[in-house]
């Protein structure tokens, strides 16, 4: 890597739409062996079947392993979880052992329970060979087991901000040993109003900590927070400034009216389930709706009509949410209706179809929703039902479809006249 020329480095970054800024940023790693990760991490990656680093991993690993603060701006499904989990494992192994009463060494904040659980699962897998203990701290679940895990001592803590602050206020743990601090889905956390909690938590960590911030979008509030939380930072941006959907997702937009939505959904589900049965495969379909009430009403209606549908949203208890996700992941219930609680961070393998029954309120959420399929190099399909009430998004949606080389329906362009 050291001998690789600047021309070769620029060519590698250009081919992967990678822009890197900051003081003397390290060169990207082409392979796992070049990443400076220790053998036990490389072996685990090989055992997991990953062929090579994703673009965000290729540049983030060398920067993080050199001790630099990192800001990573990349679309969903880009492999960012391992981009910060593996350097966290290396970081922990370089620190003195925990002593009685010590809090975690690594703290990872996530906006939702589902994302926190998924990060902790990866932490458990890749930390196992080093006997690293981790805990997942989130609301909506019993407090006592989480408190017991923290008091027993964990090197890595994955948490949602509200429950963590609750435990800090009650002295169940402390952040005096946190020297590796990660903010995952930073834009989503700010959207959800977590900024005051994040700032309080950040002030309780060590001033000499290393900070890594991951975000899919780069609005002004995220940029301002990143400037305060990081120092001597390497910024890694994958893709251009324009909003962009995954190239692995085939996007279909149908213009309809509100009354015709349910019949169209039924037709789509019947065809998808029938095609899967004929092919001997297990489909996984996520249907997004705008509100909890609409999710519940549509789920009841579909189940009454004989569809194997379950639902997930913020008002459901954690135990029920985990059960629904388990049934969906296992293919026992191939149709899952959801609010945007499932739009980010939800990593379910082989989602074959995403349906936007209700078009989202922001185009960023559209990109995140359809990003639930076509992950890790697989191909996926997304279908969106677009009504006159969504007309304000027509111009942005047309641009997004054109950029991705997807067909733009003539009915959609008719809305451009009125917006």
pLDDT of residue 69: 97
Q: Is the pLDDT assigned to residue 418 strictly greater than 60?
A: no
Helix (H, G, I), strand (E, B) or coil at 243: coil
* 188: pLDDT strictly greater than 90: no
Q: In this predicted structure, what is the pLDDT of residue 217? A: 81
Q: Which residue has the higher pLDDT, 174 or 349?
A: 174
Alpha-carbon distance of 117 to 123, in angstroms, equals 10
- Which of the given ranges, 289-303, 345-359, 361-375, has the highest pLDDT on average? 289-303
pTM, rounded to two decimals: 0.73
pLDDT in tens, 387-413: 999 999 999 999 889 888 899 999 999
- 180 backbone dihedrals φ, ψ, rounded to 5°: -145, 110
Q: Please indicate whether residue 348 or residue 297 has the higher confidence score (pLDDT).
A: 297
**Would you state the pLDDT for residue 240?**
67
Q: How many CA atoms lie within 13 A of 241 on its CB side?
A: 1
Which pLDDT does position 346 carry in this prediction? 67
Q: pLDDT tens-digit profile of 26-64?
A: 999 999 999 889 888 888 888 888 888 999 999 999 999
The 10s digit of each residue's pLDDT in 80-117 is: 999 999 999 999 999 999 999 999 999 999 998 889 99
Query: Could you report the per-residue pLDDT of 110-149, keeping only the tens digit for each?
Result: 998 889 999 999 999 999 989 999 999 998 889 999 999 9
Neighbours of 315 (CB within 10 A): 13
Q: Which domains does the chain have, with CATH numbers?
A: 6-238 (3.40.50.300), 249-418 (3.40.50.300)
Which is nearest to 247 in space by CA: 348, 412, 371? 371
CB atoms within 10 A of CB 407: 12
Task: Using alpha carbons, select from 33, 31, 155 the residue that is nearest to residue 94.
Answer: 155
Report how far residue 20's alpha carbon sits from residue 201's, in angstroms, rounded to the nearest whole number.
28
Write the pLDDT tens digit of every residue in 228-266.
999 999 999 987 666 677 778 999 999 999 999 999 999
pLDDT higher for 2 or 245? Answer: 2
User: Is the pLDDT confidence value at 227 over 70?
Assistant: yes
pLDDT for the residue numbered 417: 67
Looking at residue 241, its pLDDT comes to 61
What is the average pLDDT value for the chain, to the nearest integer? 90
DSSP secondary structure, 287-337, as one string: EE-SSHHHHHHHHHHHHHTT--EEEE-TTS-HHHHHHHHHHHHTTSS-EEE
Task: Give the mean model confidence (pLDDT) for residues 140-163.
Answer: 94
Q: What angle, rounded to 10 degrees, do the helices at 80-93 and 39-47 form?
A: 150
117 within 8 A of 323, measured Cβ to Cβ = no
DSSP letters, 126-187, are HHGGGT--EEEE-TTS-HHHHHHHHHH--SEEEE-HHHHHHHHHTTS---TT--EEEE-SHH
What is residue 167's predicted lDDT score, i.e. its pLDDT? 96
Helix/strand/coil for 209: coil
- Calculated CA dihedral for residues 34, 28, 403, 50, nearest 10 degrees: 20
CB-based burial, 158-182: b 16+ in 10 Å, e otherwise:
bbbbebbbebbeeebbebebbbbbb
CA–CA gap between residue 24 and residue 77 (Å, rounded) = 28
């Amino acid at each position: 890597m050291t001998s690789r020329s600047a021309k070769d480095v620029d060519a590698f970054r250009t081919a992967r739409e990678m822009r890197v800024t900051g003081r003397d940023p390290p060169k990207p790693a082409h392979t796992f062996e070049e990443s400076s990760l220790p053998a036990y991490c490389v072996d685990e990656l090989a055992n997991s079947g990953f062929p090579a680093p994703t673009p965000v991993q290729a540049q983030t690993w060398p920067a993080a392993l050199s001790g630099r603060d990192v800001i990573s701006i990349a679309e969903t499904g880009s492999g960012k979880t391992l981009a910060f989990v593996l350097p966290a494992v290396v970081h922990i192994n370089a620190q003195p052992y925990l002593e009685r009463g010590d809090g975690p060494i690594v703290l990872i904040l996530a906006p939702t329970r589902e994302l926190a659980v998924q990060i902790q699962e990866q932490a458990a897998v890749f930390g196992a060979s080093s006997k690293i203990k981790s805990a997942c701290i989130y609301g909506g679940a019993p407090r006592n087991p989480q408190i017991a895990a923290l008091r027993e001592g964990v090197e890595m803590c994955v948490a949602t901000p509200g429950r963590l602050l609750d435990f800090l206020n009650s002295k169940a743990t402390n952040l005096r040993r946190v020297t590796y601090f990660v903010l995952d889905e930073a834009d989503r956390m700010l959207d959800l109003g977590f900024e005051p909690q994040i700032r309080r938590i950040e002030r309780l960590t060590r001033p000499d900590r290393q900070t890594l911030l991951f975000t899919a979008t780069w609005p002004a509030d995220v940029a301002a927070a990143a400037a305060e939380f990081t120092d001597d930072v390497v910024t890694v941006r994958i893709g251009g400034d324009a909003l962009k959907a995954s190239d692995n997702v085939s996007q279909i937009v149908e213009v309809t009216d509100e009354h015709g939505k349910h019949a169209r959904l039924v037709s789509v589900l019947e065809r998808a389930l029938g095609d899967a049965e004929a092919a001997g495969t297990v489909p996984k379909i996520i249907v997004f709706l705008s509100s909890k009430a609409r999710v519940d009403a549509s789920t009841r209606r579909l189940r009454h009509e004989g569809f194997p549908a379950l639902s997930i949203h913020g008002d459901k208890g954690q135990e029920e949410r985990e059960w629904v996700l388990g049934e969906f992941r296992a293919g026992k219930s191939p149709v899952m209706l959801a609010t945007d609680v499932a739009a980010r961070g939800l990593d379910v393998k082989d989602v074959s179809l995403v349906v936007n029954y209700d078009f989202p309120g922001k185009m960023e959420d559209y990109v995140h929703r359809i990003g639930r399929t076509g992950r890790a190099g697989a191909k996926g399909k997304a279908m969106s039902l677009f009504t006159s009430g969504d007309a304000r998004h027509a111009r942005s949606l047309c641009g997004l479809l054109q950029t991705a080389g997807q067909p733009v329906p003539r009915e959609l362009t008719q809305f451009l006249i009125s917006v």
